[in-house]
Chains A and B, each alone.
Chain A
Amino acid sequence: MPAVQETVAQVKKIDVDQYKYGFETDIEMVKAPKGLNEDIVRFISEKKAEPAWMLEWRLDAYRRWRAMTEPTWAKISYPKIDFEDLYYYAAPKNSEGPKSLADVDPELLKMYERLGVPLQEQEILAGVKSDKPRVAVDAVFDSVSVVTTFKDELAKAGVIFCSISEALREHGDLVRKYLGSVVPQSDNYYAALNSAVFSDGSFVYVPEGVRCPMELSTYFRINERETGQFERTLIIAEKGSYVSYLEGCTAPMRDENQLHAAVVELIALDDAEIKYSTVQNWYPGDKNGKGGIYNFVTKRGDCRGRNSKISWTQVETGSAITWKYPSCILRGDNSRGEFYSIAVSNGYQQVDSGTKMIHLGKNTSSRIISKGIAAGYSQNTYRGLVSAHRKATGARNFTACDSLLIGDKCGAHTVPYIEAKNSSAHFEHEATTSKISDDMLFYCQQRGLSEEEAVALVVNGFVRDVLQQLPMEFLAETQKLIGISLEGSVG
């Protein structure tokens, strides 16, 4: 069977209305009382057995958050979120401190198996040959990390990969040194909220000169009703180190909207490189726009050292609302930031996403490739900032953001801000918006492809530049995801 037909046939097996990951897991949970106040913040901190400074840090964030108002500048509309009507902490009852996979609730393991997340590391550890790629996984279920695999093997290389709660207990000094140094507590409304109530997330520390021996991955799952998920990820790459990190997300299908407000901080020191890839597939709501995740995320990387590099790759197909701008602060001389994005919206999804490249050091460079695909009744906005500070001599940027519209009920928007504050900055920006041309479709159909196959072929070609940046582990899934997200959008 030709490759394209195979892809389409694969996609057809899954009905567009049947969000593949929409099941619920029945598991006994411990929850904090509804609403948010200082007591809830204390409750979360106590549950995590955190040091006193962390509680103070959270309370400070909470007080700042109280004084802030929700941002309204994005091109998204949604009913006002009642922050008092949410649970801010939910954890599987027996989850506190599993020592190994054997301690984890079998229901949870079953769930991750259904999601296709490889938590079983035994066969590889036992020396059984496997052609599957080896990926260390931190699985986060509602508010807590349930298990982190391959920890021992990573520890041999000196890499710390654990949940942030564990890092606070075991590596408190490291966390204290870097937490909030890229995204401060008062950075924005949702970052402040996250700083106050984040319950878990991943922590990665790669020591000087170490190339992390395997891909690291976190899998986020929202399960409980009326629960917000607030995770915090902190990745530190010491001098000359390299790490590639993957992130995936899913949630059950529900009529209600659920809130997800995460913060990710990356720090790359001299000559270090961090590659951060995301496949975001939160539940997008049904075909009438009911339900779905509100995804308000602050992701920022700090190229703090000379010659450092941070690369963001994202595939955004899920969520009712996406509000997300993975950014790079290019502070170190000769540092480099990259942003590759595919944002696919269908149904009534609203995406307002993009990046910020802030050039501060000398001879810094950045590259932005963004591909937006809007179908159905969705709205898809690219919003980006490229700025060169007065002292950032020799700053270079290239930006290409292209949008594809499928159907006449959707919208695709481009809002770039380009600020060159010195003459040696060299900025280029280009953007196009078009529909799939009838000529292209005709050409494909004339050669025997069906209309849907032709659309899949053209769309895959459209996003190829970004797909090439994805780690192999994500590539196949992403191609399938794009197919699913667009099914039913032809005509």
Chain B
Amino acid sequence: MTVQMLSTKAEQAILASFEANAAKLPGGAAVAALRRAAIGAFASKGLPSRRVEEFKYTDLKANVKDVLPLATGGGTGDAATSLGAHFGPEFAANAVVFADGRGVAAKAGVTCLADTLGNAPDWVAAALADAELSASSDLLLNTALFSDGAVIDIAAGAEVAEPIVIVATATDNAMTALRHVIRVGAGAKATIVEIERAPEGSGARQSSALTQIAIGDGAEVVHIKVVETHKGSLHLSHWQVNLGANVTYKPFQMTLGEGLARNGLNVLFNGQHSTFDYGAASIVHGTGHADSSLIVDHKVPHCTSRELFKTVLDGQARAVFQGRVIVRPNAQKTDGKQMAQALMLSPDAEFDSKPELEIYADDVVCGHGSTAAEIDPDLVFYCTSRGIPTAVARGLLIESFIGEAIDKVEHEGLREALGGIARDSLTA
């Protein structure tokens, strides 16, 4: 075993923060032991540097210079303000709010993890101890530090009409860690929306959100995340998804702003004939950095995966897309397609793409594509020749580029809200 010596100030501050807060963090002896094991593993790994392949383009060791104090509650927040202008009151009515790392506004059907930890149901306890989460140090940190999160258990056959909205807010200069544990029963239908946004003018924040979702046979789930970061902010998100048979899972992730955001997503196909249909749109400004890293693991035959990633970059912004599709030896009849596209609006923008195929079965159809380019001058010329001013023409082209991904969202209200947020960001 190689033990890496802690070398950065940030890593040492994280360890100190854990020791200072360990007693305040929720959970009994079993959870405390999990936390202790996780921080121990983190201590030996350190923050991931570019030498860790999954973080090649998002070097947390170099980027995280300071660690903000851990918030474990005491904040206030209401859904309407936290959601912002584009989500209507129907979303606010169904929102559960986590302020400074603790649930403050509850909703029927959603319990707070901190309240259930003393007597956690078996499926929640099993999820928390999932060995898959010990692989990467960003996930280990969440296990060590999470202070609350949503527990959602949707019964088999239930059809939840309105989207369940999870909103996280925090005061400036604080670090938060949330863990959401979700189970969707067989044949159920639900839409889950996670929102992590900081209003204009917010100060530095550091947040981690880890969502574990297990979807039963025949269920249909739409899962949306909106992350908005400001300069100096850091958001580390990860979704760990287990799909049963005949599942339709449609995740969509939108990342905006000038901070550093990483969206990890691991999806495991455990049952046949399931579909994973992923869409992502990121609009990154200034010195922002948005990383979307997926691992799609086809363990069983007859499954379909689709990924469409679109990013618009200006200033010195940098976007990263890493999509690894694994087709295991017996996963015959897998159909996998992946597309990552970047539109670069300024000379100093950067797009790093690594679409990866790892295929061990022969009867499959898999493909990926990746493009990076500036706005096609021919298209702008076409518009201007028809009397549309250049600025408007560029705006239309950018909007239609990013709109292709947003159009994947079928829920009308959500699609309009996401479109509105994107427009605001593009005109900012």
A424 at the binding interface (Cβ < 8 Å): yes
B362 at the binding interface (Cβ < 8 Å): yes
Residues of B within 8 A of A433 (CB): 357, 359, 364-367
Q: Is the CB of B348 within 8 A of A408?
A: no
Residues of A within 8 A of B172 (CB): none
Size bracket, chain A contacts: 35 or more
Given A423-B345, A427-B373, the answer on whether A414 and B368 have CB atoms closer than 8 Å is yes
Residues of A within 8 A of B363 (CB): 408, 435
Give the distance to chain B from A188, nearest Cβ to Cβ, in Å: 15
Q: Which of A408, A426, A428 contacts B332 (CB 8 A)?
A: A408
Q: Is the CB of B359 within 8 A of A403?
A: yes
1/0 contact string of B362-386 vs chain A (CB within 8 Å) = 1111111111111000000000000
Given A405-B362, A406-B362, A408-B362, the answer on whether A414 and B356 have CB atoms closer than 8 Å is yes
Q: Closest A-chain residue to B355, C-beta based? A: A416
Residues of B within 8 A of A417 (CB): 352-354
Q: Closest A-chain residue to B372, C-beta based? A: A420
Give the distance to chain B from A319, nearest Cβ to Cβ, in Å: 21
Q: Is the CB of A434 within 8 A of B366?
A: yes
Residues of A within 8 A of B371 (CB): 427-429
Q: How far is the CA of A431 from the CA of B337 in the complex (A)?
A: 10
Give the distance to chain A from B160, nearest Cβ to Cβ, in Å: 38
Residues of A within 8 A of B355 (CB): 414, 416, 429, 431
B165 at the binding interface (Cβ < 8 Å): no
Q: Is the CB of A427 within 8 A of B370?
A: yes
Chain B residues numbered 310-330 whose CB sits less than 8 Å from any CB in chain A: 313, 329
Q: How far is the CA of A414 from the CA of B324 in the complex (A)?
A: 9
Q: Which of A393, A414, A421, A426 contacts B373 (CB 8 A)?
A: A426
B228 at the binding interface (Cβ < 8 Å): no
B349 at the binding interface (Cβ < 8 Å): yes
Give the distance to chain B from A208, nearest Cβ to Cβ, in Å: 36
B358 at the binding interface (Cβ < 8 Å): yes
Residues of B within 8 A of A425 (CB): 344, 372-373
Q: Is the CB of B348 within 8 A of A390?
A: yes
A458 at the binding interface (Cβ < 8 Å): no
Count A/B pairs, Cβ under 8 Å.
Answer: 120
Give the distance to chain A from B157, nearest Cβ to Cβ, in Å: 37
Q: Is the CB of B362 within 8 A of A435?
A: yes
Given A408-B361, A431-B367, the answer on whether A415 and B356 have CB atoms closer than 8 Å is yes
B387 at the binding interface (Cβ < 8 Å): no
Give the distance to chain A from B408, nearest Cβ to Cβ, in Å: 21
Give the distance to chain B from A406, nearest Cβ to Cβ, in Å: 7
Residues of B within 8 A of A421 (CB): 350
Q: Closest B-chain residue to A418, C-beta based? A: B353
1/0 contact string of A137-158 vs chain B (CB within 8 Å) = 0000000000000000000000
Residues of A within 8 A of B352 (CB): 417-420
B21 at the binding interface (Cβ < 8 Å): no
Q: Closest A-chain residue to B365, C-beta based? A: A434
Q: Is the CB of A415 within 8 A of B347?
A: no
Q: Closest B-chain residue to A429, C-beta based? A: B370
Residues of B within 8 A of A403 (CB): 357, 359
Residues of A within 8 A of B353 (CB): 416-420, 429
B351 at the binding interface (Cβ < 8 Å): yes
Q: Is the CB of A423 within 8 A of B346?
A: yes
Q: Is the CB of A431 within 8 A of B368?
A: yes
Residues of A within 8 A of B342 (CB): 420
B360 at the binding interface (Cβ < 8 Å): yes
Residues of B within 8 A of A423 (CB): 313, 344-349, 373-374
A-B contact pairs, 22 of them (CB 8 A): A403-B357, A408-B332, A408-B362, A410-B360, A413-B359, A416-B353, A416-B356, A417-B354, A418-B372, A419-B350, A420-B342, A420-B344, A420-B350, A420-B351, A420-B372, A423-B374, A425-B372, A426-B373, A429-B368, A433-B366, A434-B364, A435-B363
- Nearest first, the 10 closest Cβ-Cβ pairs linking A and B are A423-B344, A405-B362, A420-B372, A432-B367, A414-B357, A418-B353, A429-B370, A435-B362, A411-B360, A423-B374
Residues of A within 8 A of B (CB): 73, 390, 393, 403, 405-435
Besides the known contacts A423-B344, A430-B370, A434-B364, 16 further A-B residue pairs in the complex with CB atoms under 8 A apart = A390-B348, A413-B357, A413-B359, A415-B354, A418-B372, A419-B351, A420-B352, A420-B372, A423-B345, A426-B372, A427-B371, A429-B370, A432-B367, A433-B357, A433-B364, A433-B365
Residues of B within 8 A of A (CB): 53, 313, 329, 332, 342, 344-374
